[in-house]
Chains A and B, each alone.
Chain A
């Protein structure tokens, strides 16, 4: 038993952070011509369509590299799969940190995984830019090395509710959602915002992933006749929901969707303009997905990933990659992890040219993107909107 205790003590000592080698720690994963960046994402499993975000982001790295990199260093992505599973994601993060010894982390799409990773990454101390997952709890309470580079769930959820209430005379709002953390990350802040403005949702419905029929839900809505419906549903279920809504003669009720869907693909899926004409989505970008302002980004992704089918996810992480590059530029050639963290905190009102709202990180707030625009059909054309009837 005594031996065991001794070993335990020794092992604990070995396992404790290596404080002695601060200088070495600061430049781990860094060489004269490369910065290694651990990119975690759901490259496999049933959430793998989210990994498009990371493909877009890595295309941006390639673009920077083709232009000579940052201070002569190339951005080298080391990809690890999380499969959107907390245990597998934790293994991925630990591998990147302690085996691949990357300089920093950028990425991760699934909020649950990100939450499970948070303590480990805080302890490891290296910079992590959350490039897709939206849950507020990832970066709130603030951790000194974790930066949120996309609008968080509360920013999006509040933007959804704000848009819903910007339509004159909206009083009766219904919510339909999946019972998963993704959906709640939108609907809970939306509920809060509605409540703050004296509106409580008149109806709460769920529709689970994989359901191919929304009859039961629609019939309940038909009795209630809401002014606006907030739908936190994935792409497939959104299409089914909208289709059934129209089928039962309620196609005139506007529906507010999340950033998990987009107008173009929803239209493609339902194959019918009438079905989607009153559908609005959170749209974190400056233009329509096929608009002129987005075209250069689409071309960039296709240059480096020729076969990639584009969706709304493809663009979501590019803005944070731009902010990262700007911070790396600002640090200069003498890069360390601490200097990068300090430089990221100097990113103020950074216009990415792709996100509808600028990125601002400060020493006290690492949630960089505070709001989102909305997209909807105006005169048959997808249009980015600030509020009901107001183009962006």
Chain B
């Protein structure tokens, strides 16, 4: 539990870093081909998904697996709004986020009814699978198993089939949401979230409205992941029910853990690493599950608080004030 807090100078350096990284990333499309750019775009989406997930399971400490449900709701929401109502895709991003937040509201309803721990895990798993069944069977709305194509669209005269254009939009959305999440978690609210995780009863006794804290965290998580879903619908250009199954859930679960539970920086790192890894494993088809299982098991035993904990030890710059490692 001995974490040095960053000094004022280090904090300035940190905020410089926070803006320097995306600024440098603006140059990334000059160094990529459409394939590597596509992978980079996928990393941004995974980063948001992981961020939303880690808020609930890491910061709030609730074993809720509704993440993939929010993701699917966002992706289908965006596709339906764009294809059926003709809304411009950019506008569907916040709307998909709102739909995701609605999903978060539903999931929190379970938590607030006192369904916790493994029960919450199981009911949220069921929620995700029921949603997937819904996509399959609500054919007029979702296209059912045939999936749903995104309508072609342009921005500043460039078609959205360009991975570079997508990258700039994804990057802007990601930076915005990461920054907003950091601010939220650094606020009084963020401390309340942490307090609920450590001891809900004690927190409630301090007249902090724990129910509201849980509700808002779930909804913000849903919003972030819902936005990621909207990005995903454009990323692939097509939404299929299969994209929102257990495989996706487990992949983002692993990203959270490898990065470091409850760490925003870790969420981004975990997403980047575990999105890149399968691409390096392309030469060994079928081995992915094996590698994946071994890596996760190794991280859990050797580095239970993930990569973020390593970085934290490296320099106090990486200490996230709102987050303390579990004892």
> Is the C-beta of B203 less than 8 angstroms from some C-beta in chain A?
no
Known: A15-B165, A181-B147. A87 touches B42 (CB 8 A): yes
Query: Quick check: A116 and B164 within 8 Å, CB to CB?
Result: no
Give the contacting residue for A90; candidates B136, B146, B236, B288; CB below 8 A: B236
User: Which chain A residue lies CB-closest to B146?
Assistant: A181
Residues of A within 8 A of B26 (CB): 4, 7
Residues of B within 8 A of A97 (CB): 34-35
Give the docked Cα–Cα distance between A87 and B237 (Å): 9
> Is the C-beta of A379 less than 8 angstroms from some C-beta in chain B?
no
> Is the C-beta of A88 less than 8 angstroms from some C-beta in chain B?
yes
Give the Cβ gap from B230 to chain A, nearest Cβ, in Å.
15
Residues of B within 8 A of A116 (CB): 147, 236-238, 240
Give the Cβ gap from B42 to chain A, nearest Cβ, in Å.
7
> Is the C-beta of A119 less than 8 angstroms from some C-beta in chain B?
yes
> Is the C-beta of A211 less than 8 angstroms from some C-beta in chain B?
no
Most buried by A among B157, B162, B285: B285
> Is the C-beta of B242 less than 8 angstroms from some C-beta in chain A?
yes
> Is the C-beta of B153 less than 8 angstroms from some C-beta in chain A?
no
Give the Cβ gap from A18 to chain B, nearest Cβ, in Å.
11
Query: Quick check: B145 and A14 within 8 Å, CB to CB?
Result: no
> Is the C-beta of A199 less than 8 angstroms from some C-beta in chain B?
no
Give the Cβ gap from A204 to chain B, nearest Cβ, in Å.
12
> Is the C-beta of A112 less than 8 angstroms from some C-beta in chain B?
yes
Q: Which B residues between 125 and 144 are near A, CB-CB below 8 angstroms?
A: 136-137, 144
Give the contacting residue for B42; candidates A8, A15, A91, A123; CB below 8 A: A91
User: Which chain A residue lies CB-closest to B162?
Assistant: A15
Give the docked Cα–Cα distance between A331 and B122 (Å): 60
Given A4-B26, A85-B247, 13 other A-B residues pairs in contact with their CB atoms under 8 A: A11-B30, A14-B29, A14-B30, A97-B35, A98-B33, A99-B33, A116-B238, A119-B161, A119-B237, A120-B161, A179-B136, A179-B145, A181-B147
Residues of B within 8 A of A182 (CB): 145
- Complex A-B, nearest 4 residue pairs according to Cβ-Cβ distance, in ascending order: A43-B285, A181-B145, A94-B35, A12-B158
15 CB contacts below 8 A, A to B, read A8-B168, A11-B29, A11-B30, A12-B157, A15-B29, A43-B285, A44-B285, A83-B285, A90-B236, A91-B42, A94-B163, A116-B238, A119-B152, A181-B240, A183-B145
> Is the C-beta of B38 less than 8 angstroms from some C-beta in chain A?
yes
Give the Cβ gap from A53 to chain B, nearest Cβ, in Å.
15
Give the Cβ gap from A269 to chain B, nearest Cβ, in Å.
23
Give the docked Cα–Cα distance between A8 and B109 (Å): 43
> Is the C-beta of A81 less than 8 angstroms from some C-beta in chain B?
yes
Give the docked Cα–Cα distance between A95 and B285 (Å): 15
Query: Quick check: A115 and B161 within 8 Å, CB to CB?
Result: no
Query: Quick check: A112 and B242 within 8 Å, CB to CB?
Result: yes
Report B30-59 CB contacts with A as 1/0, cut-off 8 Å. Answer: 100111101100100000000000000000
Give the docked Cα–Cα distance between A86 and B146 (Å): 12
Query: Quick check: B156 and A9 within 8 Å, CB to CB?
Result: yes
Q: Which B residues between 275 and 327 are near A, CB-CB below 8 angstroms?
A: 278-279, 282, 285-288
Residues of A within 8 A of B137 (CB): 179
Chain A residues within 8 Å of B, Cβ to Cβ: 4-5, 7-9, 11-12, 14-16, 43-44, 48, 79-81, 83-88, 90-92, 94-95, 97-99, 112, 115-116, 119-120, 123, 135, 137, 179-184
Query: Quick check: B240 and A8 within 8 Å, CB to CB?
Result: no
Query: Quick check: B288 and A86 within 8 Å, CB to CB?
Result: no
Q: Classify the interface of chain B: helix, strand, loop or mixed.
A: helix
Residues of A within 8 A of B238 (CB): 86, 112, 115-116
> Is the C-beta of B211 less than 8 angstroms from some C-beta in chain A?
no
Report B9-32 CB contacts with A as 1/0, cut-off 8 Å. Answer: 000000000000000001001100
Most buried by B among A11, A79, A135: A11
Give the docked Cα–Cα distance between A48 and B156 (Å): 42
Query: Quick check: B145 and A180 within 8 Å, CB to CB?
Result: yes
Query: Quick check: B145 and A12 within 8 Å, CB to CB?
Result: no
> Is the C-beta of B88 less than 8 angstroms from some C-beta in chain A?
no
Residues of B within 8 A of A90 (CB): 38, 236-237
Residues of A within 8 A of B279 (CB): 91
Give the docked Cα–Cα distance between A123 and B152 (Å): 12
Give the docked Cα–Cα distance between A91 and B41 (Å): 11
Residues of A within 8 A of B35 (CB): 91, 94-95, 97-99
> Is the C-beta of B149 less than 8 angstroms from some C-beta in chain A?
yes
Give the docked Cα–Cα distance between A241 and B137 (Å): 22
User: Which chain B residue lies CB-closest to A42?
Assistant: B285
Give the contacting residue for B282; candidates A16, A80, A87, A94; CB below 8 A: A80
Query: Quick check: B147 and A91 within 8 Å, CB to CB?
Result: no
Residues of A within 8 A of B158 (CB): 8, 12, 15-16
Residues of B within 8 A of A44 (CB): 285-288
Residues of A within 8 A of B36 (CB): 99
Give the Cβ gap from A143 to chain B, nearest Cβ, in Å.
14
Query: Quick check: A15 and B145 within 8 Å, CB to CB?
Result: no
Residues of B within 8 A of A86 (CB): 147, 236, 238, 240, 242-243
Known: A80-B282, A85-B242. A94 touches B38 (CB 8 A): yes
Residues of A within 8 A of B30 (CB): 11, 14
Give the docked Cα–Cα distance between A181 and B145 (Å): 5
Residues of B within 8 A of A11 (CB): 29-30, 164-165, 168
Give the contacting residue for A81; candidates B42, B243, B247, B285; CB below 8 A: B285
